[in-house]
Amino acid sequence: MSTPVRIAVAGALGRMGHVVSALVQARHGAELVARFDRPESALEDGLVSQYAALAAADVVIDFTTGAASAALALHCAERGGPALLIGSTGLTPAEERVVRAASRRIAIVKSGNFSLGVNMLMGLVRQAAAALPPSQYDIEVFEAHHRRKVDAPSGTAFMLGEAAAEGRGVDLFKVQVKARDGVTGPRVDGQIGFSVMRGGGIIGEHSVSFAAEDEILTLSHSALDRGLFARGAVEAAMWLAGRGPGLYDMQDVLGFTAPPLADG
């Protein structure tokens, strides 16, 4: 009988933390060994300290904030493990650098979305962007989430924008338009725009439209259950256990790409 993968859950008091914890407990071959939250959180309801959680786990699943995820990645790297799965979005460039540096010492899966459907959508967007010329088709990424989401555009929206930019062979940073207000003038060929809605209890809506003068092609994905992301994260954590250092994403987990090497 194989040894179960020992999983700890960060941000255990949050909505995703509760869902992930329940799914880990139900997953054959996995063992929920620790749950922890902010340092000031009372150690009750089965919570332990971060130190105890890292000592007990093979993999930590983290859906918290960019700052908390970067700090956790640093702590995991300093002690040589455990591996880390990051589902937080809205990381600053400095926080991204911390995570990338940590991946030189430990295995990290980081993704803005752990849905199989969204990752398939990324591939379709990349193909469409490569086939439809920027002089004729404008690209707009739309996303909608619940009113409590603190970052915008979403990490998934940026993933879709990056897929479109890759299809066209351009740098997203140079062509993205994240806000429009006032007299903006006519749209520039090749721009990739982002539109955002925040309201109610929307779990996650994402679409990418390719708009020409005579037609509009829209590729979209709707999340109907928050457990969708948690299930993907748990499966990614199972895949991550025992991996060598590196920064991976869901394309690697699903076998769509060759595993990337950590920057050296």
Active-site positions? Answer: 145, 149
What does the alpha-carbon distance between residue 85 and residue 127 come to, in Å, rounded to a whole number? 28
Closest CA to 60 of 90, 81, 29: 81
With contact defined as beta carbons under 8 Å apart, do 206 and 157 qualify?
Answer: yes
How far is CA 21 from its chain centroid?
18
Determine whether 22 is exposed, middle or buried from the number of CB atoms within 10 Å of its CB (0-12, 13-18, 19+): middle
Sheet of strand 107-110, all strands in order from the earlier edge strand to the far edge:
30-35, 5-10, 59-62, 83-86, 107-110, 246-248
User: What are the structure tokens assigned to 11, written together?
Assistant: 């941000």
How far is CA 204 from its chain centroid?
13
